Amino acid sequence: MLGGIVPNRAASKPDSLVIRMDGTFDVEAAQNVLGALKRAPRGSEVYVDLSQVRDFHDNAVAALAEGLVDSDLSVSVRGLRQHQYRMLRYLGVRSNALDPGLAARPLDASLAALESR
């Protein structure tokens, strides 16, 4: 289920997006995220927040991985469980796109911490 795609005014670039998901991350949800990535302007920073997802389907995580590997955007994924982080790394997603350390913190606080660097 798509929780929302919103402009991210807290990030360092004005054309950044936050994609928040909740509920079940299935193939349809992965396709929604990948569609948002395709529509994002070139050079955008995209933050995918999956911290409110209760159930992950492995085939959806694999579809997300394929889209992240093919994307030329700056994408950061948060809120996955350890199994999903391992899957993404195994499937070729750059480790700097995966941020397990920020998964437990609220997204806005995480972005504020990034800004202060």
Ordered domains of the chain (ranges, CATH): 2-107 (3.30.750.24)
Q: Is the pTM of this model over 0.85?
A: no
What's the confidence (pLDDT) of residue 100? Answer: 54
What's the confidence (pLDDT) of residue 9? Answer: 42
Residues contacting residue 4 through CB under 8 Å, at least 6 positions apart: 18, 19, 20
What's the confidence (pLDDT) of residue 65? Answer: 95
What's the confidence (pLDDT) of residue 24? Answer: 94
What's the confidence (pLDDT) of residue 8? Answer: 46
Tens-of-pLDDT digits for all 117 residues of the chain?
445 554 444 445 567 788 999 999 999 999 999 999 999 888 888 899 999 999 999 999 999 999 999 888 889 999 999 999 999 999 999 888 887 554 444 444 445 454 555
What's the confidence (pLDDT) of residue 1? Answer: 46
What's the confidence (pLDDT) of residue 43? Answer: 82
What's the confidence (pLDDT) of residue 3? Answer: 52
What's the confidence (pLDDT) of residue 60? Answer: 97
